[in-house]
Structure 1
Amino acid sequence: MDSYDRILVATDGSPGSRPVQEHAILLAQLSDAVIHALYVVDQRFPSATEYDMVVERMETQATNALDAVSEAAKPHGISVTKHLRRGVPHEEIVAYADQYNIDIIVVGTHGRSQIQRFIHAGSVTERVVRTAEVPVFVTRIRPEDDPASTGSGTIRLPGVEL
């Protein structure tokens, strides 16, 4: 396995994003790396009348999501840098990885079928995988944590406890 010094975990704060955090923490433990937690407020859906309220709500959600990553990493002695960006999620994730010399990106997916992917015109995860210059670790979001997903559980490595 390559050694990673800087791991980027992109989070949306959903209940199912816990496995994404767990994998980032696991990689950080194995590599003695720091984690960069990133939440992107999606600004592709402006609503002239409610825009400020929507963005404010999303920024509150972002703060909670970033704090959750930090709190999950704390018992393991892993340093977490929290970042909030505004823009198109996949573009901001890739730009962040380039700007901060990230070694690997950890993201989650709901495990949609081919037809669902076509209907949704590609997910954020798929676009990150296609455009990132660094490796992208994709983990499925657990169905028991997020009813909208169809994925399986997380992978555990022997001797590494989370």
Structure 2
Amino acid sequence: MYDAILCPTDGSAGSDAAVEQACDLAELTGARIHALFVVDEGIAGADEWDLVVDREEERGERALDAVAEAAADRGIEVERHLRRGRPHEEILDAATDYGVDLIVMGTHGRTGLGRFVTAGSVAERVVRHSKLPVLTAHIGD
């Protein structure tokens, strides 16, 4: 059914719910998980770019660690990816680049700079433009 699942994360509760769903599906199907964190290139001005990117990459590594730990507990193989760009575009490009069969992502992430998944959101854009199935995992307010 699924050989590879893309699980974009920002380390939020919404992402945690998606990680659980991705792990459940990977465990059932024997799929590998591609964990993805995208550093949004639109979050900082030129004056603060390096500082913000460094901070976001550190946050990304922690978020990817959490996915790897959740999957390891279940014996699921994880490949970690940290990319820079516009989140919805990078998610869609990553799905193609990594040859995944499914995207599993959270629908409520508002962490850090509030950049991930709000109305007119990353998840909405991915769902609208993806040629692959997208499973969204929602966490309530």
For the criterion TM > 0.5, the same-fold answer is yes
Structure 1: which 5+ runs fail to align? 112-119, 144-148, 150-162
Instruction: Tell me the residue number matched to 2:34.
Output: 36
Pairs within 5 Å for 1:58-137 = 58-110=56-108, 122-137=120-135
What amino acid sits opposite 2:76 in the alignment?
Answer: I
Question: CA shift at 1:17, angstroms?
Answer: 2.1
Aligned letter for 1:87?
G
Q: Does 1:18 align with 2:24?
A: no
Report what 2:113 is aligned to. none
SS in 2 for 1:76: coil
**Structure exhibiting the larger radius of gyration computed from Cα positions:** 1
Deviations 1:74-110 (A, max 9, x none): 1110000000000000000000101111100001112
- Aligned to 2:46, the other structure's residue is in SS state coil
Q: Size of the alignment, in residue pairs?
A: 133
Partner Cα separation in structure 1 for residue 55 and residue 132 of structure 2: 31
Letter of the structure 1 residue corresponding to residue 54 of structure 2: E
Q: Which amino acid aligns with 1:25?
A: C
Query: Percent identical across equivalent pairs?
Result: 54
What is the TM-score of this pair, normalised by structure 2? Answer: 0.89
Deviations 1:12-32 (A, max 9, x none): 112442111100000101111
2:112 paired residue number: none
Relative to structure 1, the CA distance from residue 138 to residue 121 in structure 2 (aligned partners, 3 Å threshold; closer, same or farther) is closer
* Corresponding residue for residue 44 of structure 2: 46
Shift of 1:121: 6.0
Work out whether residues 14 and 107 of structure 2, in 8 Å CA contact, stay in contact via their aligned partners in 1: no
- The whole-number CA distance in structure 2 between the counterparts of 1:53 and 1:37 is 24
CA RMSD of aligned residues (A): 1.5
4+ residue runs of structure 1 moved beyond 4 angstroms? none
Gaps of 5+ in 2: 110-117
